[in-house]
Amino acid sequence: MLSSSLVMALIFIPVIGRIFGIDKNKNIQINNNFKLLESGDLTQIKGIQGKYINILRFSLDNPKKLIALSILTLILIQVFYGKFGKGFEFFPPIEPDYAEIVIHARGNFSAIEKDKIINQIENEVLKNKFIKNIYSRSGLIKGDNRNESDDVIGSIKIEFIDWRIRPNAEVVINQLKDLTKEFSGIYIEFIKKQDGPPKDKDIEIQVLNNNEKQLQIDTANIFQFLKNKNWVKNIDTDLNIPGIEWELIIDRVKADQYGVDIELIGNSIQMLTHGLKVTEYMPKDSDEEIDIVIKYDRKYRTLDELDKILVEGKNGPVSLSLFVTRKPISKIGKITRNNSTRSKNIKFDVADGQVANNKVLEISKWLKTDSSFNSKIVFAGQEEDQNEAKEFLIKAFFIAVFLITIILIATFNSFYFCFIILSAIIFSTIGVMIGLIISGKPFGIIMSGIGVIALAGIVVNNNIVLLDTYKNLRKNGQNIKEAILRTGAQRLRPVLLTTLTTFFGLIPMAMGLNINFLDFEINFGSPSSQWWLQLSNAIVFGVMFSFVLTLIITPCLIIIGEKNRFFKTF
């Protein structure tokens, strides 16, 4: 792309300009201005260029004040955004085409009972006219990509109709909530399926502790704290579901006295519970073997019947109750470990209009002030991905700056020239932050970050044009101030055109305007355009501020450097 634009600029544009260019002889003022820009009296220049020269002359008389004002603005705008801005987000929110309903219920439901509940919810969902298709399943499927809770009894995947003829997905989901609010005894979770990197919930908290009891207590406390927050929705945890299970304790000494084999005791208990596998069978119409299991009749598979089971001893049949006792204990659903440490997870989404990163900071602050927690707390999931992406983009930014620095030093043979150009990159972020404050949007780690890196290239180009012109004028023997004024006047038009073409080229994207040339359609706020809002806003606001930066602040830095003899070559 850049190589093509270089060929276009050096070959085709001059030819086109020669054919269609305006004859300067037909416009006396333009002709006079061009002559004055080259070697004439700059005070005689009229129009926009003349007004700019007057502003620039005033700036060159007060360069230190303007530089100090720019640095102060940079600091204040960063502090202001940190205090009143919307914070940071990993990826831009995109209007989804799909959603999912996850149904939670606690109890020993059969497959038919689960399917019946799911079917009833299906019928209510289909009453909404904005639903195109639904796909449902009942039961918890092990090995599912999303690590579902043990209390999930089923889910319904929803496909919305085209976004052009329906309201926002959040509106449709609220309608579905109203349709399903009459279902009692179950918890219905609504999840919008977002494009971008795969994720489960907005925030995931891992609680780590090898002490199972303390782990349960700390996880439950955090869960209760979050559950009471109005900005938390779709909260989920893998805490053990309340319930009991029976622990059978075998007195091995007594069993040995009666001459009863321990394996025989285990087999007898299995026949009362899940059944005892005796062999396998391969049907003719199957590729897999089928287990043959024997168990007692259903009416005999109760706890009371456990005491009545007889097993063969050395002196004949004896009752299991003589050496097997049972006691109820808390039911343990599953045990998870993270780096060999027992862990529990809490996952949840934040309400619309809230920024997950800000809520992570709020939770972290609360955890630090509460000294009752003895477990290690780690933020994982999207927060972890966000930090990785942030580190990558920071590295990419500094690598780009480093490569630019090498090229600039080799080109201008001056560290101060290089400093001026690179400082423009830092100052241009003022415009990015102002844009975020005006629009009330968070800084997108991915898209806004890429926008800042792209902005750096534009800002560098404008300053290179300015400094290169100044360097040539100084070689021709002009004094410092005269060279700076003439440089600014000559480069005003190229810098202005670069800024305006960038602005008008990106403003449709920044407004969410989508033009489909194939179908001859113009749309606002389409899902595809939402991907680029953060990137385009960063460049648009950044390039507008860098326009002022290049034409005012850069000349001030030049004159300060000349007066203090910073322009030393090597």
Who's near 97: CB < 8 A, 6+ residues apart? 159, 160, 163, 193, 527
Per-residue burial over 425-454, b = 16 or more CB atoms within 10 Å of its CB, e = otherwise: bebbbbbbbbbbbeeebbbbbbbbbbbbbb
pLDDT at 279: 86
Who's near 552: CB < 8 A, 6+ residues apart? 55, 56, 59, 66
By the 10 Å C-beta count (0-12 exposed, 13-18 middle, 19+ buried), 135 is classed as: exposed
Domain ranges of the chain: 28-91+387-567, 95-193, 200-240+335-380, 244-330
| Helical (H) or strand (E) element with 237 | strand 232-237
Residue 532 tokens, joined: 């680029």
Rg of the chain (C-alpha set): 36
User: Cα–Cα distance between 68 and 58 in angstroms, integer?
Assistant: 16
Query: What single letter denotes the amino acid at residue 440?
Result: G
pLDDT at 230: 86
Domain 200-240+335-380 in the same topology as domain 95-193: yes
| Helical (H) or strand (E) element with 234 | strand 232-237
By the 10 Å C-beta count (0-12 exposed, 13-18 middle, 19+ buried), 32 is classed as: middle
CATH of domain 28-91+387-567: 1.20.1640.10
Q: How far is CA 111 from the centre of its chain?
A: 37
pLDDT at 26: 52
Q: Domain 95-193: give its CATH superfamily.
A: Multidrug efflux transporter AcrB pore domain (3.30.70.1430)
Q: Domain 200-240+335-380: give its CATH superfamily.
A: Multidrug efflux transporter AcrB pore domain (3.30.70.1440)
H-only helix segments in 273-324: 303-306
DSSP conformation letters of 40-103:
S-GGG--HHHHHHHHHHHHHHHSHHHHHHHHHHHHHHHHHHHHHHS--EESS-----SEEEEEE
Contact of 138 with 156, CB cutoff 8 Å: no
pLDDT at 68: 92
Residue 517 tokens, joined: 């040339």
Query: Cα separations (Å) of 312 from 263, 264, 278, 321?
Result: 12, 8, 19, 13
Average pLDDT, the chain: 82
By the 10 Å C-beta count (0-12 exposed, 13-18 middle, 19+ buried), 206 is classed as: buried
Contact of 292 with 278, CB cutoff 8 Å: yes
Strand segments, DSSP code E, in 467-529 are 513-516, 521-524
> How confident is the model over 468-501, as pLDDT tens digits?
888 888 888 788 888 888 888 888 888 888 888 8
- For 344-404, the three-class secondary structure string (H helix, E strand, C coil) is EEEEEEECCCCCHHHHHHHHHHHHHHCCCCCCEEEEECHHHHHHHHHHHHHHHHHHHHHHH
Which CATH number among 3.30.2090.10, 3.40.250.10, 3.40.50.1100, 3.50.50.60 corresponds to the domain 244-330? 3.30.2090.10
CB hemisphere CA count around 23 (13 angstroms)? 2
Q: What angle do CA 7, 9, 13 make, to 5 degrees?
A: 110
pLDDT per residue as tens, the chain (570 positions): 567 766 777 777 777 766 766 555 555 555 565 556 666 666 767 778 788 888 888 988 898 999 999 999 999 998 998 888 888 888 888 888 899 999 988 777 778 888 899 999 999 999 999 999 999 988 765 544 455 677 788 899 999 998 888 898 889 999 999 999 888 888 888 888 877 666 677 888 889 988 888 888 888 889 888 888 888 888 888 777 666 777 888 888 888 888 888 888 888 888 888 888 888 888 877 778 888 888 888 888 887 888 788 888 888 888 888 888 888 877 766 778 888 888 888 888 888 777 788 888 888 888 888 777 888 888 887 777 777 888 888 888 888 888 888 888 888 888 888 888 888 888 888 999 999 998 888 888 888 888 888 888 888 888 888 888 888 888 887 888 888 888 888 888 888 888 888 888 888 888 888 777 777 777 777 887 888 888 999 999 999 888 888 889 999 998 888 877 655 554
pLDDT at 128: 92
Long-range contacts of 397-406 (CB under 8 A, 24+ apart): 397/449, 397/452, 397/453, 397/456, 400/453, 400/456, 401/425, 401/456, 404/456, 404/460
pLDDT at 31: 56
pLDDT at 1: 59
Count other C-beta atoms under 10 Å from residue 476's C-beta.
8
* Residue among 348, 374, 87 at smallest CA distance from 229: 348
User: Cα–Cα distance between 293 and 274 in angstroms, integer?
Assistant: 9
